[in-house]
Structure 1
Amino acid sequence: MPVIDLVELYYASADLPAPFEPAWVPGSRRMKTGFYLIRIATDDGVEGWSGFSASGKERAGIGDGIADAFLGTDPTDIDLVHERIKILANGGLRHWWIEPAFWDVKGKLAGLPVYKLLGGTDDRIWLYASSGEVRGIEARREEAEARFAEGFNVMKMRVHDWDEAVDIAQIQDLADHMKGRMRIAVDCNQAFRMTLHGNAPIWDLGRAKRFADAAAEAGLFWVEEPLYMEWYDDMAALAAYSRVPIAGGELHTSGYPELRYMAQKRCYDIFQPDAMWSGGIKQVLQVGEFCRSQGLGFSPHSWGNGLGFLINAHIMAASGFAKEYPFEYPYCPPGWTLEARDAILARPSMHENGWFSMPQEPGLGIEIDRKALDKQGVCFFRATRKERHWMPETLDGSAMRREISREGAQ
C-alpha cells in the first residue's frame, strides 16, 4: 500500500496586468494574486497538488500540523483525510483546501480523471462568465458584449451599492441591453462582510425582497447571496417569496452537515459550495447528491486561482448537473485575466464557446509550471517521514531555493 512520504508547502504570487477591485472587498485594489500550494507524494513517487487563495504569510505555520497528520498515511483513505482535517481545525483553521491533493493521488493510482473516479460521465461542462467587479452601466454593457462575442450565453455581474436603486438600475439596464441574447445572474456578496479596506452595506430581508422582485421582472437567472450567511430563517423566507432562484453557499466551512440543514430549510434554490472552503471534494459532492434528492439546483463556486477552478470542475462534471446549470468561470479582464488566474499552471483552463472540456489525464489534471513556480513562489516547508525543513522566515525566493538545493545535495 502506498503511503504519504512527502509534504511540501509553497507560497506564490503573480502580477496582475491591470488593477483589480473585487466587489466582495470594498475599497480594495489588487495588483497581485497570491496562493498557497500543497504538494504531497507517496513513497513510490505519485504526487498530488492543491492550492488556496492567499494574502501573505497567514498560513506560514501550518507545516508541522499537516506533516503530523498525514505523513505515513494511506492517501486513498479520504475518510481519514477528513478526520485529520477536522482535528487540525481545533487549532483554528479548516484546511479543506488540502483535501483535493489526496484525490489527485487517488485518481492517478486508479488511472482515472477524478470526475470519472467519482462516477461522472460529463466530459464537457456548461460555463458562465463570472465577473468580479462592480462597474458602471456603460462598462458593464461592454463587458457583457465581450463575453457574448466569446461564446458565453450566461454572465454573472456584481452589485454592491449603498443605494438599492443603483443596484436595481444596474440589473435592469443590462438585462434590457442584452435583450435575451445572454442570461444574466447577479451576485450581491451579502453572505459575508469584508470590511478591512472599506465599509459595506448590509441588506435586510426587506431590501432583499425588493431586489428579488426587480430581478424577477428583469428575467434574471438567479440572485446570489443577498443575505448574511447565518440568517437561515430569513434566507428560507426569501427563497419561498422570490420569483427568481436564490443561490449561495460558498463559504460554509462546516461543510455537508450545515449545508444539508440549509437545504432542508430551503435556504437557497441553487447551492454553490466550494470544495476549498466547504468540506473538500467529498462533502461538496454529497451536497450535490442531497440537492438532487430535494429537487434543488447545484453548481459549485470556483472564484479564485486556476487550481480551485479545476478542482470544483471535477465535482460539477461528476454531479449530474453539468448540463442543467452553468459552472463558474472566473474571468474579469483587464485585471483578472486567464493568464493571471492560472499563473503557475502549465496551461490555462481555456473555455470553448462557453464550455469547458474536462482534463482526461489521471487525477485532477493539475500540471504545475515548475519554472513559473520557481520564479514566482517559494517552498517554505518540506517534510518526509525522516526529516523536516522549515525554510527562512523571509519568504525570499533565492534563499528558499538555496536551502532546497543544499538539502538535495546531501
Structure 2
Amino acid sequence: MRRIPTIRSLSLSGYQFVLGPEHSYGNARAMGFSPRSTLIEVETDEGVTGIGEAAGAPQVVREYLKSVQPYFIGKSIYDFPQIQSYLLNRMYHSGVQNSLTGCLGGIDVALLDAIGKTLDVRVCDLIGGCSREKIPVYASSGYFSDDRDNRFEDMLGKVKKGDFLGVKIKIGRGVASDVERVAATREILGEKPLLIVDMNAAYTGDVALQSIRAMASHDIHWVEEPLPPWDYRGYTELRQRSPVPLSAGEAHYTAQEFNRLIEGRCVDILQPSIPYTGGLREAQRIAFLAQLHNLRVAPHVWGSAIGLAVACHYGAALPPWPHTDHPAFPSFLEYDVGADNPLRDRMLKTPIVLEDSHVLLPQGPGLGIEIDRDAIEKYRVC
C-alpha cells in the first residue's frame, strides 16, 4: 500500500487591488470595490504543493491560520473532513459566519489541489467525477459606477461584444431606478440573453416585492439577494408572492445555513460562494442537499482567477438533475466583466479560456493552474 503523505506546512499570502475613487464602482450597498485574494498554500512531506483561496481580509485570515495550523501539521493530506469537524465543534462559540470558515475553505481547496497533483488527477475527479469540460457562464456586469470611462452602458457594451448566455446587473437603489436599469439593459442587449438582477440584500420584503412586480415584464430570470441573509422568514414570504424566481447564497456559510434556506423554501436557486461556504467539500454537501430537494445550483464567483478555477471544477463535477441530456436551463457560473481586475485577469500563467458562452475546465493535475507571482507581487499586502 502506498504511503500516505502528510502536511508539512501551511502558508498564506494576501493581495489586494485598490481602485482610485475616480474609478470606483459597486452595488446598492457601497462603492469602491477593491478586489482581494487570500492564498493559502500547503506543502506535503513529499514536496508537493497545493493552492487554495480563503474568504475574508488577508490580515484577518492570517490570524485564523495561525490558530488552526497546529491541528493540520503532520496529519494526512486526506484528514481535512476530520480536522474541520473537530475545529468547528471545538470553536463553536465563534459561529461560522467569519474568516474561520473562510480559512478552512482555503485549506480544503489547497489540500485537494495537492492530492490531485500527488495522484495525477484533476480536482473535479476527486470530488465526484467530471460531467463536463465546458461550463456555461453568464456575465456579471452593469455595476453602479463613478467612472466616466466605465459607465453602466460601457459595461454592457463589453457584454454585448462577448459571448455569454446571460447577464447579471446591479440594482437595489429604489423601484424607479431598478426599472430604468432593467429597461436600459434590454434596450442595449435585446430580449434574447437571460437577464438576472442583483439587489445585494438592500431591501425589505415589501419594497423588494414592489420592485420585482414592476420589473417582471422584462423577463427576469432570477432576482438575487433581495433581502439580508438572516431574513429567512422574509425570503419564504417573498418567494410565495414573487412572480420571478429568487436566489441567494453568497452571504451564507456552511451547509447548515443552506439547509435553512432549503427547509424554509426561501429560494429557487442556491448560490454557494465556495470560499465562504467552507471549501469544495462543503459546497458539495450543499449541492447534494439541492439535489435531494430538486433545487438549482448556480455558484457565486467574484474576485480572483483562483475562485473562478475552483468554481470550474465544482461546476464540472455537478451531476445533472432532474433532467438527463436536455436541461431547461444550465447550471452556469458567474463571469465578472465589470472593470479592470489584475487578480482576475493576470494572476494565472495560463488564463482560463472563455469560448462560446463557456469557460474551459483547466487541464492538468489538481486545479490545473499555476500562479504568476511576479504579475501580482505589487498587489501583495501580507
State TM-score, norm by structure 1.
0.80
1:159 shift after superposition: 0.9
AA in 2 matched with 1:48: G
Structure 1 unpaired stretches of 5+: 191-201, 379-394, 396-410
2:42/2:107 contact within 8 Å kept: no
Which residue in 2 is equivalent to 1:406?
none
AA in 1 matched with 2:13: Y
1:11/1:35 contact within 8 Å kept: yes
Q: In structure 2, which of residues 327, 351, 354 is the aligned counterpart of residue 351 of structure 1?
A: 354
Deviation string 1:67-106 (CA, Å, 9 cap, x unpaired) is 2121011112331242255246756632223321111112
- 1:3-42 equivalence runs, <5 A: 3-14=6-17, 19-23=23-27, 25-26=29-30, 28-30=31-33, 33-42=35-44
Give the Cα separation in 2 of the matches to 1:218 and 1:172. 7
Which residue in 2 is equivalent to 1:312?
311
Alignment partner of 1:209 is 2:199: no
Which residue in 2 is equivalent to 1:244?
244
Which residue in 1 is equivalent to 2:292?
293
Give the Cα separation in 1 of the matches to 2:115 and 2:293. 30
Which residue in 2 is equivalent to 1:384?
none
Which residue in 2 is equivalent to 1:144?
156
Deviation string 1:41-67 (CA, Å, 9 cap, x unpaired) is 110011110123555633343343232
1:135 shift after superposition: 4.9
Give the Cα separation in 1 of the matches to 2:171 and 2:374. 38
Q: In structure 2, which of residues 328, 332, 335 is the aligned counterpart of residue 329 of structure 1?
A: 335
In the superposition, relative to structure 1, how do residues 70 and 247 fare at CA in structure 2: closer, same or farther (>3 Å)?
A: same
AA in 2 matched with 1:230: W
Once the two structures are overlaid, the 10-residue window that deviates more, 46-55 or 102-111, is 46-55
In the superposition, relative to structure 1, how do residues 174 and 374 fare at CA in structure 2: closer, same or farther (>3 Å)?
A: closer
Give the Cα separation in 2 of the matches to 1:222 and 1:40. 38
Q: In structure 2, which of residues 174, 187, 197 is the aligned counterpart of residue 186 of structure 1?
A: 197
Which residue in 1 is equivalent to 2:269?
270
Q: How many residues align?
A: 360
Which residue in 1 is equivalent to 2:323?
none
In the superposition, relative to structure 1, how do residues 21 and 80 fare at CA in structure 2: closer, same or farther (>3 Å)?
A: same
Which residue in 1 is equivalent to 2:324?
none
AA in 1 matched with 2:375: A
Give the Cα separation in 2 of the matches to 1:181 and 1:288. 29
Which residue in 2 is equivalent to 1:166?
177
Structure 2 unpaired stretches of 5+: 321-326
Which residue in 2 is equivalent to 1:257?
256
- Secondary structure of the equivalent of 1:48? strand
Deviation string 1:227-274 (CA, Å, 9 cap, x unpaired) is 111111110121222221101111212x11221221122111000011
In the superposition, relative to structure 1, how do residues 55 and 353 fare at CA in structure 2: closer, same or farther (>3 Å)?
A: same
Give the Cα separation in 2 of the matches to 1:305 and 1:244. 30
1:16/1:340 contact within 8 Å kept: no
Query: Over aligned residue pairs, what C-alpha RMSD do you find?
Result: 2.6
Deviation string 1:272-329 (CA, Å, 9 cap, x unpaired) is 0111011311121121122122221111111121111111221111113597232111
Q: In structure 1, which of residues 127, 145, 149 is the aligned counterpart of residue 137 of structure 2?
A: 127
When Rg is computed on C-alpha atoms for both structures, the one with the higher figure is 1
Once the two structures are overlaid, the 10-residue window that deviates more, 103-112 or 259-268, is 103-112
